[in-house]
Structure 1
Amino acid sequence: MRRFSHAFAVDAPIDRVWAFYTDIGHLEIITPPEMGLKVVRCTTGRQLAEGTEVWLEGNLVVKSRWHSRITRLQPYVYVDEMLEGRFRVWKHTHSFEKAGSGTKVIDEIEYELQYGPLGKMLEGYAEKQLAKIFAHRKDATIKALR
């Protein structure tokens, strides 16, 4: 199992950041455009809730589909876990903390690639791609919440 963490501060109150991140539409705003991410279906409309299931499609090296469920949601923390997709395991914890008049956004991901030994050889590549994606998410979040 691999772990990836990313954190940054945004100059917006925590309730505003929380509202942004718990609206499924945020994914299409903060995901790098070259991934062409589209929300195909969300079982609770736009608002995430514990138990929400989401189907996405986009380019993860090749066109991919992704099905996940929100397994935990309480104020300022939620967890999405992949049910089907490119990873054997994907558990993404989103946490938000007050930081002065702004908010600290924290992403912690536990993941394991598919494909056994081949997947192990691709872990370095996957880590670099995650770093690029989350750097973009930081910039896009800051811009969206100005």
Structure 2
Amino acid sequence: MRTFRHTFTVNAGIDKVWDFYTDINHLQVISPPGMQIRLVKTTHQKLIEGSEVWLTGILLTRSSWHSKITSLAPYRYVDEMLSGRFHVWKHVHGFRKVDGNNNTATEVIDEIDFELHYGMLGRIFEGYVYSQLEKIFAYRKQATIKALEKNI
């Protein structure tokens, strides 16, 4: 199993950031265009604990995945892949108010535990997956900042 961690700060209040990230449509705003993310089905437009989401897109190769929100509390939620490209995919989304003069900044924290299928063979490709996640999350950072800082 491998862990990927990415953090950044956006100049927006924590409630605004939380509302954005718990609306399932945020995925289409912050996902790189090359991933071609398409929401197939969701049990809830606004994420709650137990929400399930079915997506298609390009993640390594064209694939479909099914995830469930297994935990949700103010400013933190966890989505876990039930079926898809990974044997294990547990993504913890965290949001923390940043102390400062204007008190409107929020730290966005993503932590992903992942493991590919196929045991040892899958582990050979974890470094490649890690490098792809770095690119995806660099894009997500810029897209989040663009979406949330435009009307402060």
Per the normalisation by structure 2, the TM-score is 0.93
Secondary structure in structure 1 of the residue aligned to 2:121: helix
Any idea what SS the aligned residue of 1:126 has?
helix
Which residue in the other structure is 2:79 paired with? Answer: 80
Gaps of 5+ in 1: none
Unaligned 5+ runs, structure 2:
none
Mapping for residues 94-133 of structure 1, pairs under 5 Å: 94-99=93-98, 100=100, 101-133=104-136
What code does the residue aligned with 2:75 have?
Y
What corresponds to 1:138 in structure 2? 141
Deviation at 1:61, TM superposition (A): 2.6
Aligned partner letter, 1:142? I
For the pair 1:54 / 2:40, whether they are aligned, the reply is: no
> Could you tell me how far apart the structure 2 residues matched to 1:78 and 1:10 are?
18
Instruction: Among all aligned residue pairs of Structure 1 and Structure 2, give the percentage whose two residues are the same amino acid.
Output: 61
Separation in structure 1 between the aligned mates of residue 126 and residue 17 of structure 2, nearest angstrom: 31
| Structure-2 residue corresponding to 1:92 | 91
Query: What SS does the aligned partner of 2:50 have?
Result: coil
1:63 positional shift: 1.1
Aligned residue identity for 2:126: E
Tell me, in whole angstroms, the C-alpha distance in 2 between the residues paired with 1:59 and 1:95.
25
SS where residue 3 of structure 1 aligns? strand
Where 2:110 maps in the other structure, the secondary structure is: strand
Distance 1:59 1:94 in 2: 21
Per mean C-alpha deviation after superposition, the further-off stretch among 15-24 and 92-101 is: 92-101
TM-score (norm 1): 0.97
